[in-house]
Structure 1
Amino acid sequence: MVRAICCGYYGEGNGGDEALLASLLQMLPDAVEAIALSGNPSQTQTQYGVKTCDRRNAFQVLKVLRAADWFIWGGGSLIQDVTSAISPLYYTGLMGLAQQMGLRTIAWSQGIGPLQRPITRAIAKRAFAGCNLVTVRDSGSAALLTDWQIPFTLAPDPVWALDPKPVPGLWDLPAPRVAVTWRSHPLLTPKRLEILTRALVSFQQATDTYILLVPFQLSQDLVIAELIHKAIPYHSQILKLTDPQMLRGLFQGVKCYINATA
């Protein structure tokens, strides 16, 4: 039995990252035993039936590293220093440690950057260069790895391969439906949010669409969704979906998806 550590922003209530974990677990062969590093180990274990480890507990993480064969960066924009300078240091530090301990290391479905600091660019380059396999999900990440002369595969976002679940009541809502996710972000200032909201109101009026506001991380994004809903009270609804498969199923019932952070 091969033991693989799945490392990502799991167990933090972010729908996109939870969908990535669900996709990864769905794709792993039966011969692989997964251990997910999670911010909420008990919840992750209950939700996915996978072994877990507290990603903030250094002793636990070191223990599972010593017993593992593979280390998988499990997707998403983990290596960026816009929202946090600590995040890329944490993830590249774990990757570097796994490489030093002799684990096979995989950077899976990565969205790399932005990397604004020279030190984070340098450590990211070193970490990716030491991987046995690298896959990226966008052309910007591909261009960066090409510049670094690091081999990679450009592949679609694996979330689209996740088995969907129907969203109760979705097909009873007015059509056409448009899903909107606006993430909390330093660049999404109150002024920009006001401008984007006015634009969305004009879009809804011009197209007569029904707006589904989908906060991917309730603790950060729900406030934004509530502000938008107040501007379109009769032609919008907030959907608080925490099941990754339902998030995937949502896109089977909408005509368009609008995602913005700035």
Structure 2
Amino acid sequence: GYFGFDNSGDDAILKAIVKDILDFNPKARVKVLSNDPDKTEDLCNVSAANRFKIRDVISSIKATDILVSGGGSLLQDVTSTRSLLYYLALMKLAILYKKPVMVYANGIGPVNKPFNRRLVKRILNRVDFITLRDEDSRICLVEMGVNNKNIQVTADPVFTLEAAPKDRVNIIFKNEGINRDKPLIGISVRHWKNDELLVNELSKAINSIINKMEVNIVLIPMHYPEDLKISQSILDRVDNPNCHLLQAKYNVEEIMGVIGELELMVAMRLHSLIYAATQITPMLGLVYDPKVDGLLKELEVPYKLSVDNITEKEFLKVFEDAWENLENIKKMVEEKEKNLKSLAYDNIETIFKIVGK
């Protein structure tokens, strides 16, 4: 997976997979291919190898009982073709060494280039099992001609994680100087192609909300340093002490705990919305990628808008609708979250069915 890159969502995926494997079989040994093996070893108490050192990669695959590819959005060519080819090459290598391969709770696509689509089809038809985090991913595979008989729609592994305890979360708010006397609204954004528009329109909307309502707004970075940079740009344009930016870097469970204390989470990144779902925190999605729309569909949350041509006016309209329906959103999310958590555990059972241990 995309591990060792200081991305909270991917760290959460890895933590969840490792926890679930060891809960299922405490004797299992996990080795992770990572961009930063030392950091990954500290994070999850596992052994790790450098994902870019071909010798280490080959020796790790030769020594394994199964290659688990995922989770996350690994098989897509929107960010780059290079990463898609990397993950497919790992699977191909494992197949060459006659090792079982499981595509684990992946979000598939978009895969736009015809050559890439053919490659995905060829390799995924040869893996042992594919679990997917949403129905849209299954449709995407069918459209690419993948007809592997072992495909199951489950859920993102992060649904099995627990948040940090409340006393730790209270310390975070205290250290960050965030007053709890007003309702808290969280906002999590990432760098995208229209940064200037996004920063401008969101900062105007935040100013409107704070001037009209008695609330505190917390900007929550998920990927360092990129999210910190764009969040700081928004904060610089908000002329009000009731808007805060989390300054320190927090682990997955701590960010989940913070999100659990919010009245509403407004977010672009998929895993900030998944964190909200695990905490039954109402959400509003800022859609930059089909995977975000896919999750909101699964949760049956209608409050969303595209970031591509975002305006203050449009944002405030959706925000006000969501704010008036917080209890309804909570009920919807609570119902769906239980089912998604149960489906997330199906991923782990599949690993052990394949290896027969």
TM-score range, shorter chain: 0.7 to 0.9
Moved over 6 A (4+): none
In structure 1, the residue matched to 2:259 is 251
Cα deviation, residue 199, structure 1 = 3.4
CA pair 49-25 structure 1, distance change in 2 beyond 3 A:
same
Query: How far does the alpha carbon of each residue in 1:135-189 deviate from its partner, in whole angstroms, 9 at most, with x for none?
Result: 212232121123333442222322121122132344853442222221123x334
Count matched residues.
254
In structure 2, the residue matched to 1:126 is 122
1:228 corresponds to 2:234: yes
Cα deviation, residue 15, structure 1 = 0.6
1:22 corresponds to 2:15: yes
1:213 corresponds to 2:212: no
Highest RCO, 1 vs 2 (Cα 8 Å, sep ≥ 6): 1
1:134 is matched by which residue type in structure 2? Answer: I
Would you say the 8 A contact 1:170–1:253 is kept in 2? no
Would you say the 8 A contact 2:203–2:235 is kept in 1? no
In structure 1, the residue matched to 2:35 is 39
Say what the alpha-carbon RMSD is for the aligned residues.
2.1
Query: How far does the alpha carbon of each residue in 1:17-51 deviate from its partner, in whole angstroms, 9 at most, with x for none?
Result: 00100000010032321001111111111222100
2:186 corresponds, among 159, 179, 183, to 179
Distance (Å, rounded) in 1 between the aligned partners of 2:205 and 2:117: 36
Query: How far does the alpha carbon of each residue in 1:225-245 deviate from its partner, in whole angstroms, 9 at most, with x for none?
Result: 101112334222222443122
CA pair 152-236 structure 1, distance change in 2 beyond 3 A:
farther
Distance (Å, rounded) in 1 between the aligned partners of 2:211 and 2:66: 51
In structure 2, the residue matched to 1:97 is 93
Helix, strand or coil at the partner of 2:267: strand
Distance (Å, rounded) in 1 between the aligned partners of 2:95 and 2:28: 19
Would you say the 8 A contact 2:200–2:234 is kept in 1? no
Would you say the 8 A contact 2:199–2:233 is kept in 1? no
The TM-score, its normalising length taken from structure 1, stands at 0.88
Q: Using the aligned pairs only, state the percent identity.
A: 27
1:138 corresponds, among 107, 118, 134, to 134
Distance (Å, rounded) in 2 between the aligned partners of 1:203 and 1:126: 51
CA pair 45-208 structure 1, distance change in 2 beyond 3 A:
same
Query: How far does the alpha carbon of each residue in 1:50-84 deviate from its partner, in whole angstroms, 9 at most, with x for none?
Result: 00000111111111111111111121111111122
2:252 is matched by which residue type in structure 1? Answer: P
In structure 1, the residue matched to 2:164 is 165
Distance (Å, rounded) in 1 between the aligned partners of 2:172 and 2:120: 44
Helix, strand or coil at the partner of 2:26: coil
In structure 2, the residue matched to 1:238 is 245
The TM-score, its normalising length taken from structure 2, stands at 0.66
In structure 1, the residue matched to 2:152 is 153
1:71 corresponds, among 67, 86, 105, to 67
CA pair 113-44 structure 1, distance change in 2 beyond 3 A:
same
Distance (Å, rounded) in 2 between the aligned partners of 1:135 and 1:202: 43
CA pair 259-39 structure 1, distance change in 2 beyond 3 A:
same
Cα deviation, residue 203, structure 1 = 4.3
Answer with 1 or 2: which has the greater Rg.
2
Distance (Å, rounded) in 1 between the aligned partners of 2:65 and 2:19: 19
Tell me which protein shows more helix as a share of its residues: 2
1:162 is matched by which residue type in structure 2? Answer: L
